[in-house]
Amino acid sequence: MRDYKARFIREAIRCNALSFGEFTLKSGRISPYFFNAGNFCNGETMSIVGQCYAEAINESGLDFDMLFGPAYKGIPLAASAAIALNDVFKTKIPYCFNRKETKSHGEGGIMAGSPLQGKVLIIDDVMTAGTAANEAIEIISHTADAVLAGMIIGLDRKESGGGNRPAREFIEQVYSIPVLNIIDIDDILEFIRSSPEMSDLIKPIMKYREAFGID
């Protein structure tokens, strides 16, 4: 496993962004694990997380001009990744984000940050069915000066997003863009298998994976 993947998992577990138990998802499925990027909520953690995103982005070789972080959880991810790209890879990348509601005063509008233009890489936390991804893609698709370069997420649950195929693949095929990730559920399983104290988690995750997972 790549070092940045293991660091991401360790930090996610440490701050309870990745937790294990019994969780009801939006889909109604009962999952033995849950990922909540809202628990990436201090400077040390965001520095680690931003570096993991930056390393995955740099490793991909993807050509892009700016980052777009969908409200709300994508906003700090875009900021931390932009900082890490600058500090670690000496790449100065602007970023922007949307508001949930249009601002009627001040500068107004639904967007904030750098102008949304050029080749845009969406950065977000997790992909299950791809609903949030579609919303972000729609914003960029309806912006005259912007084109989709791709998307990067922290965790790909590798579950169905349309028919008998994973949400990531569905997004890639429909919009003709690459969808990158730092980790997926199989990386989590690999990490758990290398940690004897977590061995009791393997069976419920495998059972869920067999029921709802798609490679």
Residue that is written with structure tokens 């600058």 in the block: 86
From the list 5, 103, 158, 207, the catalytic residue is: 103
- Number of C-alpha atoms within 13 angstroms, CB side, residue 195? 15
Domain boundaries, the chain: 3-208
Tens of each residue's pLDDT in the chain, 215 residues: 999 999 999 999 999 999 999 999 877 889 999 999 999 999 999 999 999 999 999 999 999 999 999 988 999 999 999 999 999 999 999 999 998 776 555 555 788 999 999 999 999 998 866 667 788 898 998 888 999 999 999 999 988 765 667 778 888 888 899 999 999 999 999 999 999 999 999 999 999 999 888 77
Residue 179: strand pairing partners: 151
Record: fold of 3-208: Rossmann fold (3.40.50)
Tell me the backbone φ, ψ of residue 48, rounded to 5 degrees.
-65, -50
Asked if 103 is an active-site residue, the reply is yes
From the list 90, 92, 100, 105, the catalytic residue is: 105
Give SS3 for 70.
coil
Asked if 119 is an active-site residue, the reply is no
> Residue 180: which region, alpha, beta or left (left: phi > 0; alpha: psi -120 to 50)?
beta
Strands 18-24 and 30-35: antiparallel
- Number of C-alpha atoms within 13 angstroms, CB side, residue 19? 12
